[in-house]
């Protein structure tokens, strides 16, 4: 089964977060992930609103978690810590 990596983000330091984005994309692609939504228009219907929302599709939950735990992604994430407030989840798809 496939999986979606869903991030809701408020960027607090655009320069540092830009470095995260620069490094995160290749790390995600290396693990089979592909962006299907990246900071586009949205409508918040419930919960806390975050101005940046990102969704990437992975071949499996395991692939998405392996990406998160990879040295490449952790290097990227070191730039996002302190530069953003985020929630990140992986959800298995029904397809």
Tell me the three-class secondary structure of the chain, residue by residue: CCEEEEEEEEECCHHHHHHHHHHHHHHHHHCCCEEEEECCCCCCCCCCCCCEEEEEEECCHHHHHHHHHCHHHHHHHHHHECCEEEEEEEEECCC
Residue numbers of the chain with a pLDDT score lower than 50: none
Residue the block writes with tokens 């392996």: 66
pTM over cut 0.85: yes
Tell me what pLDDT residue 76 has: 96
Tell me what pLDDT residue 3 has: 98
pLDDT tens for residues 6-25?
Answer: 999 999 999 999 999 999 99
Tell me what pLDDT residue 47 has: 94
């Amino acid at each position: 089964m496939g999986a979606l990596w869903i991030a809701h983000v408020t960027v607090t330091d655009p320069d540092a977060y830009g470095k995260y984005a620069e490094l995160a994309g290749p790390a995600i692609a290396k693990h089979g992930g592909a962006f299907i939504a990246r900071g586009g228009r949205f409508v918040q219907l419930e919960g806390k609103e975050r101005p940046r929302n990102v969704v990437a599709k992975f071949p499996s939950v395991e692939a998405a978690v392996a990406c998160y735990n990879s040295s490449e992604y952790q290097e990227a994430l070191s730039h996002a810590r302190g530069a953003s407030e985020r929630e990140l989840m992986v959800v298995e798809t029904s397809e």
